């Protein structure tokens, strides 16, 4: 069976746990995601550990956000690890996104638009007044113009972003919660089935899978539900 278009967020405190989660979920999902917690603790070695024998696609979520020269150097430094995807913050601007794209030619650069943990009230407080989907649409357009071929947004904005950027861009949505699951610190959320139906290409799901007593079974259940809803 083809693995489901899910990136499991391996937000673990230690490498052994992350590698165990990765081994349990890789039969069911296309991708595993390494974020700041693991990378800052273990560095580049973490990539090989979670890739394991399966050779699953690794998404390196470092959310780079700095001046173009610094981001270029950082993207170059991690591109030798050959992550399939690397995140940068869209709010770093066009030149910064271009620098990342040029410095990591074998990695897909994904621009994070507006964090899924932010409400519209939070956005107002940081000076981004107006509906979240308008800010997300604007950042999405800017990022694609700068050469990003993937975008990160919440499932609530995915249809607006798809209409803006067309079919060729990979849309990645965190803020995904199966029906009844706790929202935790996520603010703009939807179910996996809804996110996919609205046009997402890859769903980022962490705690609803890794917080389960059996992460392999939790990943398999979500994958099966996606197959039932979207053939």
Q: Is 112 in the site for ligand OMP (CB under 6 A)?
A: yes
- Nearest distance from C-beta of residue 9 to ligand OMP, angstroms: 3
In the annotation, is 61 catalytic?
Answer: yes
Q: Is 133 in the site for ligand OMP (CB under 6 A)?
A: no
HEC string for the chain: CCCEEEEEECCCCCHHHHHHHHHHHCCCEEEEEECHHHHHHHCCHHHHHHHCCCCCEEEEEEEECCCHHHHHHHHHHHHCCCCCEEEEEHHHCHHHHHHHHHHCCCCEEEEECCCCCCCHHHHHHCCCCCCHHHHHHHHHHHHHHCCCCEEECCHHHHHHHHHHHCCCCEEEECCECCCCCCCCCCCCCECHHHHHHCCCCEEEECHHHHCCCCHHHHHHHHHHHHHHHCC
HEC string for 33-61: EECHHHHHHHCCHHHHHHHCCCCCEEEEE
Q: Is 116 in the site for ligand OMP (CB under 6 A)?
A: yes
**Among residue numbers 16 through 45, which ones bind ligand OMP (CB under 6 A)?**
35
- Which of 68-76, 78-86, 94-102, 111-119 is the region at the interface with ligand OMP (rule: CB under 6 A)? 111-119
Joined together, the tokens standing for residue 177 give: 């919660």
- Nearest distance from C-beta of residue 175 to ligand OMP, angstroms: 6
**Annotated active-site residue in 63, 122, 133, 198:** 63
The residue with its CB nearest to ligand OMP is 206
- As to burial, measured by CB atoms within 10 angstroms (0-12 exposed, 13-18 middle, 19+ buried), residue 166 is exposed
> Is position 97 annotated in a ligand binding site?
no
> Is position 177 annotated in a ligand binding site?
yes
Nearer to ligand OMP, 112 or 165 (CB): 112
In the annotation, is 133 catalytic?
Answer: no
- Nearest distance from C-beta of residue 62 to ligand OMP, angstroms: 9
In the annotation, is 14 catalytic?
Answer: no
Nearer to ligand OMP, 86 or 165 (CB): 86
- Which of 15-23, 88-96, 192-200, 204-212 is the region at the interface with ligand OMP (rule: CB under 6 A)? 204-212
- Nearest distance from C-beta of residue 147 to ligand OMP, angstroms: 18
Q: Is 174 in the site for ligand OMP (CB under 6 A)?
A: yes
Joined together, the tokens standing for residue 214 give: 């059996």
Q: Catalytic site residues?
A: 61, 63, 66
- Which residues are documented as binding site for substrate? 11, 33, 61-70, 116, 177, 186, 206-207
Catalog residues that contact ligand OMP under the rule CB under 6 A.
9, 11, 35, 61, 63, 87, 112, 115-116, 152, 174-175, 184, 186, 204-207
């Amino acid at each position: 069976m083809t693995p489901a278009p899910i990136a499991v967020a391996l937000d673990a405190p230690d490498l052994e746990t992350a590698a165990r989660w990765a081994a349990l979920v890789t039969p069911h999902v296309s991708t595993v995601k390494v974020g700041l917690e693991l990378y800052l603790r273990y560095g580049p070695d973490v990539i090989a550990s979670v890739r394991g024998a399966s050779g699953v696609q690794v998404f390196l979520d470092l959310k780079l956000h700095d001046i173009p020269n610094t981001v270029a150097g950082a993207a170059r430094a991690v591109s030798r690890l050959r992550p399939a995807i690397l995140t940068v913050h869209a709010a770093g601007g066009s030149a910064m996104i271009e620098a990342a794209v040029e410095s990591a030619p074998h990695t897909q650069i994904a621009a994070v638009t507006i964090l899924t943990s932010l409400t519209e009230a939070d956005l107002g407080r940081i000076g981004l007044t107006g509906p979240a989907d308008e800010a997300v649409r604007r950042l999405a357009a800017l990022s694609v113009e700068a050469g990003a071929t993937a975008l990160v947004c919440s499932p609530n904005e995915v249809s607006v972003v798809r209409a803006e950027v067309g079919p060729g861009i990979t849309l990645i949505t965190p803020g995904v919660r199966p029906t009844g699951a706790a929202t935790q610190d996520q603010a703009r959320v939807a179910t996996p089935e809804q996110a996919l139906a609205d046009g997402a290409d890859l769903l980022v799901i962490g705690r609803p899978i890794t917080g389960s007593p059996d992460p392999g079974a939790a990943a398999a259940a979500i994958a099966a539900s996606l197959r039932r809803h979207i053939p």
